Structure 1
Amino acid sequence: MRSTGTCVLLTIVTLGFYSLYWYYKTHEEMKQHTGAGLGGGLALVLSIFVGIVMAFVTPNEVGNLYARRGQAKPVSAATGLWALLLGWFFFVGVIVWFVKTNGALNAYWRSLGAQG
Structure 2
Amino acid sequence: MADTQPTTESGPIAVAPQYGLAMKRRGPVAVWLGLPLITLGIYQLVWYYKIHKELNEHDRRQNLSPAGSLLVLLFLSWTLIAPLISFHNTGKAIANAQRAAGLQVTCSPAASTWLAFVFGLNVWYMQRELNRVVEAYPGTTPGTQVPLAV
Shorter-chain TM range is 0.7 to 0.9
Show CA shifts across 1:18-63 (max 9, x none).
Answer: 1110110000011011111323212211221233333212211101
In the alignment, is residue 22 of structure 1 matched against residue 47 of structure 2?
yes
Tell me the equivalent position of 1:4. 28
Report which of the two has the higher share of strand. Answer: 2
Residue correspondences, number: 108
In the alignment, is residue 45 of structure 1 matched against residue 77 of structure 2?
no
Separation of aligned partners in 1, 2:65 and 2:134:
17
Unmatched tracts of structure 2, length 5 or more: 1-24, 77-82, 143-150
Change in CA separation of 1:15 and 1:54 when aligned onto 2, cut-off 3 Å: farther
Question: What is the identity percentage for the equivalent residue pairs of Structure 1 and Structure 2?
Answer: 24
Kindly indicate whether structure 1 or structure 2 has the higher relative contact order, using CA contacts under 8 Å at least 6 residues apart. Answer: 2
Q: Give the 3-state SS of the residue equivalent to 1:15 in structure 2.
A: coil
Root-mean-square deviation (Å)? 2.1
Assess if the C-alpha contact under 8 Å between 1:4 and 1:103 holds in 2.
Answer: yes
Tell me the equivalent position of 2:97. 65
Show CA shifts across 1:65-88 (max 9, x none).
Answer: 1223554321132111222xxx1x
Q: Give the 3-state SS of the residue equivalent to 2:105 in structure 1.
A: coil
Show CA shifts across 1:81-114 (max 9, x none).
Answer: 222xxx1x5x1xx22x222211110111121224
Compute the TM-score of the two structures, normalised by the length of structure 1. 0.78
Change in CA separation of 1:27 and 1:57 when aligned onto 2, cut-off 3 Å: same
Bigger radius of gyration:
2
In the alignment, is residue 54 of structure 1 matched against residue 79 of structure 2?
no
Q: Give the 3-state SS of the residue equivalent to 1:108 in structure 2.
A: helix
Assess if the C-alpha contact under 8 Å between 2:91 and 2:107 holds in 1.
Answer: yes
In the alignment, is residue 76 of structure 1 matched against residue 108 of structure 2?
yes
Q: Give the 3-state SS of the residue equivalent to 1:74 in structure 2.
A: coil
Separation of aligned partners in 2, 1:3 and 1:37:
26
